[in-house]
Amino acid sequence: MQQQSRRYLSSFSSAAGAVKQVTKANFSPALGELKDRITNSDFIAVSSQKTGVSSAPWTRILPIDTSETAYLKAKAAAERFEVLQFAVCPFKIQGSKIIASPYNFHLFP
């Protein structure tokens, strides 16, 4: 029995070697870099760290919730949270490699 060769997009490398930590001091140049990378990217991932999303057990959306109840719970939670950190990672596919360029924005304090 001959084993088939499979090709996966499994190689991962970061363009900068590490996550770019964006603060008030380097915001303007980092934003320019990020705009260029987004323009040339194949897809983008976005993530945030925030407070207050599940501050009370009743705000958690459950499978038995109606659409209206789920919306009201999400709305109530969103009205109470503050974004502490925001991450953006543009990805570029080059052959069998995925090149990631992660940026981490520190928003608080």
Predicted confidence (pLDDT) at residue 43 exceeds the cutoff of 50: yes
Cα first-last separation, the chain: 62
Distance of alpha carbon 66 from alpha carbon 97, whole angstroms: 43
Taking phi over 0 as left and psi of -120 to 50 as alpha, with beta for the rest, 42 belongs to alpha
Contact 6, 91 (CB under 8 A): no
pLDDT at residue 75, as a whole number: 84
At 69-95, the pLDDT tens digits run 999 988 887 777 777 888 999 999 999
